[in-house]
Structure 1
Amino acid sequence: MPNQRWQISSANPEKANQLAQGTGLSPLLGQVLLNRGFDTVDQAMVYLYPESQAMPSPMDEFPDLAISVEMLKEAIAENEKIAICGDYDADGMTSTALLLRALRWLGADVEYGIPSRMKEGYGINTRIVEEFANEGVGIILTVDNGIAAHDAIARAVELGLMVIITDHHDLPPELPNADAILNPKQLPESSPYRSLAGVGVAYILAVTLAQDLGQLQGLTSQLLELFTLGTIADLAPLTDINRRWLKRGLQRLPKSQLAGIQALIQMSGVSEDQIALKPEDIGFKLGPRINAVGRLADPQIVIELLTTSDAGIALERAMQCEQINQKRQQLCAEIEEEAIALIETEALNWQQQRVLVLVQPDWHHGVIGIVASRLVERYGVPVFIGTYEDENQEHIRGSARGIPEFHVFEALQFCHDLLGKFGGHQAAGGFSLPSENLTAFQTQLSHFAHQCLEPEHLKPLVAIDTEANFNQITYNLYQQIDRLHPCGIGNPDPIFWTPNVRVVEQRLVGKGHLKLTLSGFDGTKQLNAIAWRWGEYFPLPSTVDIAYKLKDNAWNGTVTIELELVGIRVSESAPSGIKKAEFYHNERRYTCSLWESLNELRIRNSEGKVLVIQKGQRTGLLGFKRDDAKQVDVTQPHYYQLIKAATRALNL
């Protein structure tokens, strides 16, 4: 069974019913609205209909927006060369494409440059600045980077170039000496623009400039599509102004007028018949194909894809994205497999360390961040994963992913004396360090982790909205959930749970997925379900509690509602003849079960190794599988104390 912790929101039926009646939604979704922080019907209605709320003008919010527009207007009027410095992730590439489209539309002389992911790393640097200067550039415009690039900006000023920084990353203690800075982190927490990604800042600058020049007509739609693509692919919060604009953008994408987006939709298998795309269409289909290029190949492929008006070139670039994404998937699978094998065969003691640090040669730096995310999903522990940058293995570059109680950027700051470059935010980050500092880095990270994490935090979190029975799961409910969209970061899909569900049928499908037929406890209604990447838990017990999202399945013109499982646990009230418990021993987590019919106690550690003891025996079996397990003397002190802890947890 998955090693999870369930967090079920406190139910407030009276208030949930009030919200449901005031909004015309199901009481289940009334509870979801309550969980999202909407206490009144008025608040809920603004959330459901974001266009109904008056928004402040960006000019009133961003202090340097007016001067940025004036600088660009003057450059366009005088035919002065403008250079965009972008980034190699989806946000940076869509931002670059958006401003290229806008500035070319407005008659600007504009070019772009993106640093090499493998050779230079993130952000504008002095090499790019000097190259722009040699090409006669007058204004540098950064997108999705630059807020901490003091040296590069200082060099630009020294060379007589003007600089506009557009970025959304956290502010350093001292800002670079740029001519203008547009960053939503400069705005108050209450500002609706605070959650913008880099592409959102670029969108505001482009629209404001075009509006000022009276040339907005015909441009807005194409910019909105790029804003939508970049914002969701960058995992920006789908709240406030993002939610307002994304509702429009997601409706436009199926009928996009941009040749590149049309080609990308065609290659990724997204249905063009949809009224609107959903964030998962971008998050799992369009976005990864763009991101893969920035991770493994030349970002110019994506820039050309998103700026060309030639359908042939667009299809060619989309096919390149497809091929590169397939290579990315293969690399991720290989590295993830190697990482899991390393974790489960080596004595890494990550539960005692409360953080998992993995460094191996020959892992591709461009994809290790994805692998780190998968390891967090699997083990529920903060993951710092790295690979060597050189043949001599003197330098390490890595990526980090966290859990809700662990702040990745603060952890990196805590270790700043051991690191080279580093950056990030609460959930993710990147870093480099000399190899000789690796052991000290692991020790210091563990020290930080012990300050904010308890042993019970070290398993994946399933945040659940409300309990539902199968009779409440209807197509009407699914349609009502659509009013909560777009769902994603900051506005998650509703998660329901149902206890005592019977597993009627189960089988393995695809690459390690579980397909199930489930029945409510009373047996009156059956629903199909899918559990992605849960093949290793096959077969599941006959009666379980489940947590799930709703999804639709269209087949032969018929649409049915299915469950997408995100959580599962043994039903506490299910009569199975098996007692189960969880406990901690020497700061490590274990699960144990007493199989009464076999008179057998089984104790499992987090790596999957199991100790099996039968009542009255002095020896037991220890191993990952019974077939190749070895015999051990369970009277030895460390086994004996472990067994005592397990029997206490089972109340024996």
Structure 2
Amino acid sequence: MPEQQWILTSTEQPPEWFLQAVKQYVSASSGQYAAQLLWQRGIRGIPQLAAFLDSKTYQSASPFEFGQEMQLAVERLQKAWKAAEKIAIWGDFDADGITSTAVLWDGLGQFFVQNTQLIYYIPNRLTESHGLNCPGIDNLGEQGCKLIVTCDTGSTNISEITYAKQQDIDVIVTDHHTLPVERPPVTAIINPRYLPSDHQLFHLSGVAVAYKLVEALYQALPDIPQQPLEDLWDLVAVGLIADLVQLSGDCRYLAQLGIGRLQEDFKKTPTQRRRPGVGRLLELCQKSGDRPTDISFGLGPRINAVSRIQGDASFCVELLTSRDHKRVNQLAEATELANSRRKSLQKEVAQQVNQKLSQMDLSTTSVIVLSDPQWAVGVLGLVAGQVAQETGRPTILLSTEGIGERQDGELGAPTTAREWGLGRTAPWAGSPTWGDCPSAMGRLGDGEKKAPHHPTTPPPHLLLARGSARSVNSVDLYQLVKNQAHLLHRFGGHPYAAGLSLPVENIPLFTEAINQQLRQTLGGATQAPTVQADLTVTVADLGKELFLELKLLEPCGMGNPVPKLLIQNCWFENAWHRNQQDWQGKKVQYIKTEFDIRDDSTRSPFPGVWWGHYKDELPLGRCDCIAELDYNTFKKRYEIRLIAVRSSETSTRLTHHSVLILDWRNIPDAPWRVSTSVPLLLKECPTSWDDLRAWLRRSLYNQQPLAIAWSKPKHKPPEEIWLTLVGIAKYLSRTNQSATRIQFLQKLGISDQSLYLGFKALKSVGFIVQRQDRNLHINQQPNPESTLAEIAIAKFLAAVREEQFQREYFAEVPLSTIQAIAKIMNAER
């Protein structure tokens, strides 16, 4: 494996007034470490600090911030309540989708009789994949449902929503994924992506959006519910943390409230718990529910494991919501067994992948693409993520068992798919109209989406490989795979992860093409796995005081990762490893090493664990390591979780990037006014890594710090930008005036490439754009053929959406990722 590059985050010292403010929140320590982390992560004001640390100080947003869409949804639910209509909740099979369904089941269950007026439907991961499908709609229609409420899915299911409308079934969509080009024919669509990117609701996951709908209904009909809204907080926290959304704004607030609710319920006896199924599941994974890691390492993986292993995860909703203690105990144990099976499968696939990797020359490989007919599709994303982190290369794993003609001769269930995780619609996919429903399509993997050619049914004998992709460091996986869309059957994803399917025969060509593309993008730069440390500590620092200080930052997640601690010149003792055991005492093929860590700062050792590794992998003698500090509820002890380790003899000097990269994003008071050195100031958010590399090269050449000082973009809808462009064109044509390219760019807030497509679209609707020196003159002519105009306008809108999506990505790209790129470029000099 390539040598891992270690990076130490900038250690800019916060001012004394900030230290004193943080100290008020910790009683047993100085608060220095917490203050340093908070300052590094952009928490630099007293009101901001209070809102971040204390949920009682934070002012949450009203559900009616969603505007008319929320009003329409509440009005339709009130109508259903008055008419005693039958409603179906359409959920999803991952942890966010399951908890979203559970929130609506419990929340709407206060207004509609469960199992009589209210039912739910969870698609099967292995046969249906994400999203609405027509056979499912038919089934609900036959049961007398007049309204479907989706959660965590549905935004781009245009043809399915149209089909439901034809069956006299209304649809309310609650989702946080892809936005369609035009509003779908729904009763209401509640999706935070319609809000500005800096809105406190923008990052809500599916479960939080579902909660906001229930909150609005509680406000509209306050006398009906028998149970308090607060009873839903624990479910919301599970979905939020398990879905890896950015925990800021209302996301962080709801996660804080929910974790408190989880802990409060777990302290009760099993017979007194509101959610005995959650309590039993926490017991089985030896957690107490008071930490975000109890969800991210405990509840979340177990809920996700059910669909990964057996496809149907419907019973997980019952597990989370039922008060039948005997029944939920059985369901919790079934969930635990599924997770044990997932661990074993994951290890088996990982071993086979590593065997294939040992036969590859990674020095000539930019993207790892591996396939096998025996691999279980459900765990490929997990293994791909491990490989990407270990090798520093994007990794794509495919199962080639084929999904053309199934063994039983039946095609996979009809489906359309949403994008994966934090994704969005690929701009090349256009308006997601997949053809008339019902239609037969193959099964999809993680977040797959139709490729541009919009296939419906694969040819009977076409074998399709399907699998998952995971990225690492700065590589934009979404863009990388999108450029090979002509070789794919379906694809969907975002810069970090994707799901895809393609004809088996295309795998060699796809592998060659995607490797060549990334090699050209990197320009010969060496790829290496990176790990970032936030703080340097000693073994003497480890323990309760530091744990409680770092706990201030919880809940951690995207944008606020768990603090990584660098411990230098240490060594390990009493190391031993063993296979994990399930709740029945049976061994699971999953290794954990336990050890004591020591250094010269104290005579006392400190315990730790290293998941997925053998004791023989620990270096002998003096070492450096990066770890997370944790509390083991089961053993009632503080311990470290080892992230990375290497021998001190072979350890290279840590890279400190405080001089090179200054993260001044979203800071209202310009720090360059008081900076001791004059930095190279980058205030415009880039739209590609090439843009950012150009600035890094200037920084290196001038030996000048680079300050990234852009703010979160505030985008106008692409359609509004188009109307503005047309308005400018009409004005210039009418007044016979001219404008410069720079004036167009500033007025519209788009890039040169998008502006070029905008001019082409103007020409398609009858404008003539002419350049004279630096000025642009526009004249209006009769409209040409409307079909060509629609295509040109669609291309412009897609380009603007893509550009806005990229800006949103770079607005919050981790500093460590930018530092990794800078390190590579510095090494090349």
| Same fold at TM > 0.5 | yes
Partner amino acid for 1:417? H
Whether the 8 Å CA contact 1:354–1:381 is kept in 2: the answer is yes
Distance 1:523 1:324, change over 3 A: closer
Q: How does 1:192-591 map to 2 (within 5 A)?
A: 192-214=200-222, 215-216=224-225, 218-254=227-263, 255=265, 256-271=273-288, 277-297=290-310, 298-345=312-359, 347=360, 349-388=361-400, 389-390=402-403, 394-450=463-519, 452-453=521-522, 458-501=527-570, 503=571, 505-511=573-579, 512-521=591-600, 526-535=605-614, 538-553=617-632, 560-571=637-648
Q: How does 1:32-47 map to 2 (within 5 A)?
A: 32-47=37-52
Whether the 8 Å CA contact 2:619–2:647 is kept in 1: the answer is no
5+ long unaligned stretches in structure 1: 583-648
Whether the 8 Å CA contact 2:63–2:213 is kept in 1: the answer is no
Range with greater deviation from structure 2 (510-519 or 142-151): 510-519
Distance 1:93 1:561, change over 3 A: closer
Q: Which residue of 2 aligns with 1:67?
A: 72
Give the superposition deviation at 1:553.
Answer: 4.7
Supply the distance in 2 between the matched residues of 1:239 and 1:124 (Cα, whole angstroms): 29
**Of 185, 188, 197, which residue of structure 2 is paired with 1:180?**
188
Partner amino acid for 2:5? R
Give the superposition deviation at 1:126.
Answer: 1.9
Give the superposition deviation at 1:452.
Answer: 4.8
Distance 1:299 1:539, change over 3 A: closer
**DSSP-derived class of the 1:510 partner:** strand
Supply the distance in 1 between the matched residues of 2:481 and 2:147 (Cα, whole angstroms): 33
Give the superposition deviation at 1:160.
Answer: 2.7
Range with greater deviation from structure 2 (535-544 or 400-409): 535-544
Supply the distance in 2 between the matched residues of 1:252 and 1:579 (Cα, whole angstroms): 44
Whether the 8 Å CA contact 1:19–1:44 is kept in 2: the answer is no
Give the superposition deviation at 1:4.
Answer: 1.9
Give the superposition deviation at 1:302.
Answer: 0.8
Give the superposition deviation at 1:94.
Answer: 1.4
Supply the distance in 2 between the matched residues of 1:185 and 1:161 (Cα, whole angstroms): 25
Whether the 8 Å CA contact 2:88–2:147 is kept in 1: the answer is yes
Give the superposition deviation at 1:492.
Answer: 1.3
Give the superposition deviation at 1:360.
Answer: 0.8
Distance 1:287 1:579, change over 3 A: closer
**DSSP-derived class of the 1:222 partner:** helix
Range with greater deviation from structure 2 (307-316 or 530-539): 530-539
Supply the distance in 2 between the matched residues of 1:169 and 1:352 (Cα, whole angstroms): 36
Give the superposition deviation at 1:490.
Answer: 2.6
Partner amino acid for 1:565? L
Supply the distance in 1 between the matched residues of 2:465 and 2:225 (Cα, whole angstroms): 47
Supply the distance in 2 between the matched residues of 1:450 and 1:2 (Cα, whole angstroms): 17
Whether the 8 Å CA contact 1:498–1:546 is kept in 2: the answer is yes
**Of 56, 60, 79, which residue of structure 2 is paired with 1:55?**
60
**DSSP-derived class of the 1:489 partner:** coil
Give the superposition deviation at 1:225.
Answer: 1.6
Supply the distance in 1 between the matched residues of 2:67 and 2:512 (Cα, whole angstroms): 42
Q: Report the structure, 1 or 2, having the larger strand content.
A: 1
Matched, 1:92 2:97: yes
Distance 1:126 1:261, change over 3 A: same
Distance 1:336 1:521, change over 3 A: same
**DSSP-derived class of the 1:563 partner:** strand
Supply the distance in 1 between the matched residues of 2:290 and 2:250 (Cα, whole angstroms): 18
Partner amino acid for 1:306? L
Give the superposition deviation at 1:216.
Answer: 4.4
Whether the 8 Å CA contact 1:404–1:427 is kept in 2: the answer is no
Whether the 8 Å CA contact 1:222–1:258 is kept in 2: the answer is no
**DSSP-derived class of the 1:486 partner:** coil
Whether the 8 Å CA contact 1:376–1:403 is kept in 2: the answer is yes
Supply the distance in 2 between the matched residues of 1:320 and 1:181 (Cα, whole angstroms): 35
Range with greater deviation from structure 2 (436-445 or 387-396): 387-396
**DSSP-derived class of the 1:52 partner:** coil
Supply the distance in 1 between the matched residues of 2:211 and 2:601 (Cα, whole angstroms): 53
Give the superposition deviation at 1:467.
Answer: 1.9
Partner amino acid for 1:270? K
Distance 1:529 1:463, change over 3 A: same
**DSSP-derived class of the 2:393 partner:** coil
Supply the distance in 1 between the matched residues of 2:6 and 2:653 (Cα, whole angstroms): 15
Q: Which residue of 2 aligns with 1:644?
A: none
Distance 1:530 1:119, change over 3 A: closer
**Of 119, 122, 139, which residue of structure 2 is paired with 1:114?**
122
Partner amino acid for 1:356? I
Whether the 8 Å CA contact 1:125–1:151 is kept in 2: the answer is no
Supply the distance in 1 between the matched residues of 2:257 and 2:601 (Cα, whole angstroms): 43
5+ long unaligned stretches in structure 2: 24-29, 266-272, 408-460, 580-590, 655-826
**DSSP-derived class of the 1:121 partner:** coil
Partner amino acid for 1:518? I
Partner amino acid for 2:468? S
Q: Which residue of 1 aligns with 2:162?
A: 154
Give the superposition deviation at 1:376.
Answer: 2.0
Whether the 8 Å CA contact 1:11–1:31 is kept in 2: the answer is yes
Give the superposition deviation at 1:555.
Answer: 8.3
Matched, 1:102 2:91: no
Whether the 8 Å CA contact 1:405–1:452 is kept in 2: the answer is no
Give the superposition deviation at 1:509.
Answer: 1.9
Whether the 8 Å CA contact 1:23–1:41 is kept in 2: the answer is no
Whether the 8 Å CA contact 1:16–1:34 is kept in 2: the answer is no
Distance 1:100 1:457, change over 3 A: farther
Whether the 8 Å CA contact 2:111–2:225 is kept in 1: the answer is no
**DSSP-derived class of the 1:84 partner:** strand
Partner amino acid for 2:577? V
Whether the 8 Å CA contact 2:619–2:646 is kept in 1: the answer is no
Distance 1:33 1:581, change over 3 A: closer
Distance 1:114 1:551, change over 3 A: closer
Give the superposition deviation at 1:518.
Answer: 3.2
Distance 1:79 1:424, change over 3 A: same
Whether the 8 Å CA contact 2:392–2:473 is kept in 1: the answer is no
1:290-323 Cα distance to aligned partner (Å, 9 max, x none) = 1111212221221221232211111111121122
Supply the distance in 2 between the matched residues of 1:230 and 1:51 (Cα, whole angstroms): 22
Asked which structure has the greater RCO (Cα within 8 Å, sep 6+), the reply is: 2
Distance 1:455 1:31, change over 3 A: farther
Give the superposition deviation at 1:65.
Answer: 0.8
TM-score of the aligned structures, taking structure 1 as reference length: 0.81
Give the superposition deviation at 1:455.
Answer: 6.7
